[in-house]
Structure 1
């Protein structure tokens, strides 16, 4: 049972708890996900099953799209609705101020992860240091914001609904913090919903209500990758790949990584060596 499925995560359970439920539903231990969601966040989790877990680093799962809400005037230690209030009484921005502000967050920006995050500092998870009350800072790192749009704003309540298309590694909670700071006020993410991740969407996504039918939602590996990145190999090349040998690809491709198939069965991930010579960096052992 190899392939990918999309799961529409509800608010509450962690990504790991969802994986645990899927392992029980599918009767298979080899399951992983491409990008976690915080427990209070909802939406798309891309799940890999069986041998597909070895392909997670190659799947087309960027850019990511999130729809999120900001509550202005208050800040929490976790930068979401689950945390303790650390500052309050901040001003509520005017609509035009907010529109002008979000325009400055497009393109490449430097972003410091939240202190309550899984980022490691000195070998320790940041959230562990934050929970112990330690004072520390995390260095900013570059992320890319492809688009950021204001969908709705209730000026009276200071509540904004936005949608962002961004690179992997972007923290929506940090984006909320930085938008509020730029407006000289406070804010936290009152909701975060992942809409899509690359070519993966919530259309036909598995839910907790349909968990018992999880097997029917698995997409074959061959459906995930673009046709231009897939090559069909001969029986001789199939044997060569099984022994970790380089092969010559006759198809015209300029990609550094391609995927070798025999029919719909993936045989290997190939990395360009030179010219038309490719080396197998990941080999899937199949019968026959």
Structure 2
């Protein structure tokens, strides 16, 4: 074989290419403590023998709970699923401040805790709605093209960044006077950091605090009870059984209205054009949805319309608002999708 020095043989290059995804859809996994989100994606890539896998929201190694992984063409849904709300059960420990604002960080200061259950209850009431909170320095948010955690690891101090974060449906679950901790359940919009919430709570209490445990129970519209552990999913997949945690491509974005088309409308759409009849039907879906209260104008940034084939029932495209009167094509799906692994029964 004639190969130039420093050049990988063509046969090896071909072997290293990612295989097509064995199915297209979402996989809902319950992440254990102690591994990164990237680790979990890597395990699924190895199991399915494809690199075409992403996720819709990271969890820190300390955190557990629901992760939505996207396989094959479902990766095209990433931006839309990321916009959804998330809900958590969190434990906050009073009296210790760390550099990461959670229990895994290095201690920066400690303080005596003047324990008061009524004070915890009162502060919880002030920690709901839209809040202006600082971003954790150990986060992937970028400043001047550089991630904040990169500044932190280099020991560089930067000015604190304040961001609006929206928390609601807060419920105080328990309080533990023995270890000066309490547990809450809360829901937040995209961009919310529970570590920021815990840090500011500690500031308001007067002794500092850190996030000592975190479990994601909801990633809109999916709940943790729909998820499987990786081992459970792998066992079903390898046995040829449809895993409980697999969401078919056509069932993704289930809160979006659906439009079924055929004939010329379908042919034109697959060539990147929207016929007048499809545009009129989408406008009717818009009006009907608002009139019956299913969604309102504030939802238009989150909601689009799923277009499916009348004949095959497969998803053809995602439509998103172009303006207040019309829609545009966001994504087109050109291949036939199977919601099942090839070996599944």
Fold agreement, TM-score > 0.5: yes
Deviations 1:107-138 (A, max 9, x none): 11112210011111111111111112111233
Deviating more after overlay: 271-280 vs 169-178: 271-280
Q: How far did residue 149 of structure 1 move?
A: 1.8
- Report the counterpart of residue 259 of structure 1 in structure 2: 306
Correspondent of 2:252 among 224, 229, 232: 224
CA contact (8 A) 1:92 1:158 kept: no
Deviating more after overlay: 133-142 vs 63-72: 133-142
SS of equivalent to 1:203: helix
CA RMSD between the two structures: 2.0
* Unpaired stretches in structure 1, ≥5 consecutive residues: none
Larger strand fraction of residues: 1
Deviations 1:5-31 (A, max 9, x none): 211000111101100100111122111
Rounded to whole Å, the distance in 1 between the matches of 2:255 and 2:59 is: 30
Please say if 1:205 is aligned against 2:222.
Answer: no
Larger helix fraction of residues: 2
- Report the counterpart of residue 268 of structure 1 in structure 2: 317
Rounded to whole Å, the distance in 2 between the matches of 1:38 and 1:175 is: 15
- Report the counterpart of residue 70 of structure 2 in structure 1: 48
1:242-257 to 2 correspondences below 5 Å: 242-247=270-275, 248-249=277-278, 250=281, 252-254=284-286, 257=304
Rounded to whole Å, the distance in 1 between the matches of 2:250 and 2:230 is: 26
CA contact (8 A) 1:61 1:199 kept: no
CA contact (8 A) 1:228 1:253 kept: no
Number of residue pairs aligned between Structure 1 and Structure 2:
287
Q: How far did residue 286 of structure 1 move?
A: 2.5
Rounded to whole Å, the distance in 2 between the matches of 1:177 and 1:261 is: 46
- Report the counterpart of residue 159 of structure 1 in structure 2: 181
Rounded to whole Å, the distance in 2 between the matches of 1:198 and 1:62 is: 5
Correspondent of 2:138 among 110, 116, 119: 116
- Report the counterpart of residue 238 of structure 1 in structure 2: 266
SS of equivalent to 1:219: strand
Q: How far did residue 4 of structure 1 move?
A: 0.9
* Unpaired stretches in structure 2, ≥5 consecutive residues: 1-22, 290-299, 337-345
Q: Which has the larger radius of gyration?
A: 2
